[in-house]
Structure 1
């Protein structure tokens, strides 16, 4: 670790262990150690560490606290839905079971300060205590006086304690409008492509050579680095796709040196995975099962797009089915398909001449929102009340490019949409909800 000579109060073995576990974050770890100072000296009251998701903020702090054996409390603000839970976790982590009998049912800020002082008087600190708050931006949604109090907690409790806030937003957007004590700021930059390559190379598969895995990571970063620099997401993608990358090697058709052939085999699978970056609709096991199912049912599933790997919510599937029916069925057929007691209507009597042409050859046609909802409420099994959830799922389908918004957002009449999926895709979606869509398509009568 480059900062090792600057911190003689820590043993060489501990610093070496920290250096091995914090690859490509030695500079940031050295900066944090410099601000923390010696374990027995008074430290700065608060430190604000910010950076994008998966830039090593929590990992660096967890490693420093654990390897250097510093007294600390690490609390995730996501788990603490109330201020009382936050105070309880901090006191239990720092003082153990001694805090339990002193805690009221819902401790307030004044209770927290009083109990902290009482416990400090019983067991004075030999080292600086640290309170690490992950996802600290959520503190802004809690009580107004909480954040200013935490930033100057050292003064309130009269103890050598430092509060370290970890956040994904900058301090200018974090600072309370009423003003507060200014913490020290540390920025964790994104990993560069070379740093990601170096980190991921260390996780090579034991059954294959490090050179092969490094070549695979190089291909993976070449595809995903422009859209994703999240280390956790890239690890997930590497775990999903490495077995597929090695399939030609296991079959004996390709040698490790034939990188181009290995690339041709993995390219279509990486393109499919590109559509599910940051989406966790499917787990790794489900992804592998879907890959195997595609190979077994190549004829039936060949027409599916990359969206076939996105597991949609239940009602979103019916919304997509309704959108497909609205795009490929003439509007005049809705009465026949979706209205009970419509009577006998012949196909040639109620359609115009140009509507007798196959709609699947002409392509999808735009339809208004009210028609989509009318078909949706007709085909869905259970009664569904119109709610914001239904409309938000329509927006999600547009975001996933399964539906296309036609026209401008500022138009006076209701918005119009087009369905952008293939027949094979919608049949696969329909099978998951036991809906026979062919019976409702005019072209297949």
Structure 2
């Protein structure tokens, strides 16, 4: 309701004036909307859908810009001018436009084509703006003032404003939070994907079982929808075979329980289907996973620490180590491949030292890096082998195969074979 008031009327009025303002459509063109709105919430909480539906239903002039697709400010400026004023306005941009070029052209076009009502610029994945030019985000937040036009910028983000705000300071947007769906809301939404061959009550009971297992660890609607589609065939298997009825929930639960436990180990990993897995020529289905960028390098560093002797770290990760031949640090009893002996435990400080050596950019040792290590342990890609009382020096083992880590390395253009002692 707050978002509807913001978009439809341009300001937040008292409740007693709400109905009269909404009825008075003639007031809307004369009212300037708030310069910028920051909408935040976790992924799949309905931010983009609600905003886009409101724009279309109210027939408001708007343009939706994906910060993933617009990899440069030039593409952003071009899309905004193209949507509001046409291709002739966009053609006036120089080859490498600055924010002042964009403001100048926008002011010229808005004076020729004044806004009859608020123009909205909707920025999806707006957190990527933090990596753009330092003056771009502050300029967008007060674009209304710069171009002297009835325009408002709506930023959609998955992070809170405190982590978004530039260090140099900027105009504070109006904040609006989209909370996560409750369990009941997820039940209603997921139940709408009912399979046509079965009753709505049967599919709803399946969703209830699914949420009972995954709700404590996953609130992502898209991930839950993926899990529901992936495991439904196993749930209705006894019904299709005539071994159980749709109302025999206990039998159905016993049949699907092991499959849900297996899926719990790979939640968020998005294992590919068996058809795609067969085309991998024997590679594990875990080869195709979605991991954060730095988590991939942490896993690579863990694999190197597990299968390389500690004394070889100087040979692989120190730039000015000189010429060191393999025979110089071979021991007499070290004739067996480390890959045949299996992974060896390594301390946390060695893992981080290798990680900072192999990652291709400077990374500060923040809490995010340590939380990603914990996530890898939770996903069973790393194994914690130290005792509970050894909190100061935890030790880990890498729990993935060579095929798996090779596939992960290819996604970040890292040749892991060159850093493995067994392949020297």
The verdict on a shared fold, with TM-score over 0.5 as the criterion, is: yes
Determine helix, strand or coil for the equivalent of 2:63. Answer: strand
Could you tell me how far 1:119 is from its partner in structure 2?
Answer: 1.6
Whether the 8 Å CA contact 1:404–1:418 is kept in 2: the answer is yes
Whether the 8 Å CA contact 1:323–1:419 is kept in 2: the answer is yes
Structure 1 residue 145 and structure 2 residue 135: aligned? yes
Structure 1 residue 118 and structure 2 residue 89: aligned? no
Mapping of residues 11-410 of structure 1, within 5 Å: 27=1, 29-33=3-7, 36=10, 39-40=28-29, 41-280=31-270, 282-283=271-272, 286-287=273-274, 309=286, 311=288, 323=306, 334-337=334-337, 366=345, 387-388=358-359, 400-407=379-386
Q: Which has the larger radius of gyration?
A: 1
Give the Cα separation in 2 of the matches to 1:260 and 1:269.
15
| Pair 152,368 (structure 1): closer, same or farther in 2 beyond 3 Å | closer
RMSD, aligned α-carbons: 4.2
Give the Cα separation in 1 of the matches to 2:233 and 2:253.
13
Determine helix, strand or coil for the equivalent of 1:55. Answer: coil
TM-score, normalising length from structure 2? Answer: 0.68
How many matched pairs?
344
Determine helix, strand or coil for the equivalent of 1:335. Answer: coil
Give the Cα separation in 1 of the matches to 2:230 and 2:52.
27
Whether the 8 Å CA contact 1:99–1:119 is kept in 2: the answer is yes
Could you tell me how far 1:213 is from its partner in structure 2?
Answer: 0.9
| Pair 333,186 (structure 1): closer, same or farther in 2 beyond 3 Å | same
Determine helix, strand or coil for the equivalent of 2:240. Answer: helix
Give the Cα separation in 2 of the matches to 1:109 and 1:128.
21
Whether the 8 Å CA contact 2:186–2:221 is kept in 1: the answer is yes
Give the Cα separation in 2 of the matches to 1:130 and 1:332.
72
Give the Cα separation in 2 of the matches to 1:235 and 1:99.
43
Give the Cα separation in 2 of the matches to 1:164 and 1:318.
40
Whether the 8 Å CA contact 1:50–1:168 is kept in 2: the answer is yes
**Mind listing any 5+ residue stretches in structure 2 that lack a counterpart?**
12-24, 291-295, 310-330, 352-356, 364-371, 408-424
Determine helix, strand or coil for the equivalent of 1:115. Answer: helix
Give the Cα separation in 1 of the matches to 2:245 and 2:90.
63
